[in-house]
Amino acid sequence: MAATDSQPAAGDDDEFQDAVEEQAVFTLPEHHGPMTLERSLDECRLAVRYFFNNQFDEAREIMRPWRDSSMYHAMGYGTMLYLQAIMTFDPRDIEVAVDVLRSSVEVCNRFRRKSTLGETVSKIVKKPDYGLYTEEEAHAELCYAKCLLLRAVLNFVEDETLISLVKGGLKVKTCYTCYRDCWQMLKHRDWTGSKTKQHFEGGVRLGVGTFNLMISQLPAKILKLLEFVGFTGNKDIGLRELETGFSLTESIHRSLCSLVLLGYHLVATYFMSNSEGDLVASERILSEQLVTYPNGAFFLFFAGRLELVRGHFERSAQLYRESWQSQRCWTQFHHVCFWELFWNNVFLSQWEEAAEFAGLLLRESRWSRTIYSYLRAASLLMLAEQSPGEDSQRQEINTLMNTLPDFKQRIAGKSVPAEKFVIRKSRRYLAQGGRLLMPGYELLYLWNGFKILRKRRHLVEDVFSEVEHELAALDNKAAASEFAADERALLLLLRGVCLVHLSSPLQAEEALLAVTRLQSQLRDDHYLVPFAWLELGLLALQAGRTEDAVKILEHAKSGYKGYNMINRLHFRVHAAMGAIAASKSGSATPDPLTAPDENGCDDAAAGTDDDL
10 Å Cβ neighbour count for 535?
A: 24
Q: What is the pLDDT of residues 261-296, one digit of tens each?
A: 999 999 999 998 899 999 999 999 999 999 999 999
Is residue 13 pLDDT above 60, yes or no?
no
Q: What is the pLDDT of residues 398-407, one digit of tens each?
A: 999 999 999 9
- Min mean pLDDT across 7-16, 284-293, 451-460 is at 7-16
Distance, in Å, from the CA atom of 197 to the CA atom of 546, rounded to the nearest integer, reads 46
Distance, in Å, from the CA atom of 594 to the CA atom of 602, rounded to the nearest integer, reads 19
pLDDT at 32: 58
Q: What is the pLDDT of residues 330-374, one digit of tens each?
A: 888 999 999 999 999 999 999 999 999 999 999 999 889 999 999
CA distances from 291 to 1, 16, 279, 285, 483 (A): 34, 23, 18, 10, 55
Mean pLDDT value across residues 306-332: 95
pLDDT at 163: 67
Tell me the DSSP string of 375-410: HHHHHHHHHHHHS---HHHHHHHHHHHHHGGGG--E
How many residues would you count in the chain?
A: 612
pLDDT at 386: 80
10 Å Cβ neighbour count for 526?
A: 16
Distance, in Å, from the CA atom of 219 to the CA atom of 568, rounded to the nearest integer, reads 10
- Measured in whole angstroms, the distance separating CA 594 from the mean position of its chain's CA atoms is 26
Is residue 189 pLDDT above 80, yes or no?
yes
Distance, in Å, from the CA atom of 351 to the CA atom of 129, rounded to the nearest integer, reads 62
Is residue 29 pLDDT above 70, yes or no?
no
CA-based nearest residue to 288, from 254, 263, 333, 322: 254
pLDDT band of 2, cuts 50, 70, 90: very low
Beta-carbon contacts of 515 under 8 Å, excluding residues fewer than 6 positions away, are 489, 492, 493, 496, 528, 529, 532
Distance, in Å, from the CA atom of 31 to the CA atom of 263, rounded to the nearest integer, reads 36
CA-based nearest residue to 573, from 594, 549, 597: 549
pLDDT at 3: 41
Is residue 479 pLDDT above 90, yes or no?
no
Residue 187 DSSP class: H
pLDDT band of 226, cuts 50, 70, 90: confident
Torsion of CA 191, 197, 198, 204, to 10 degrees: -100
Q: What is the pLDDT of residues 34-51, one digit of tens each?
A: 899 999 999 999 999 999
Helices 484-501 + 505-516 axis angle, to 10:
160
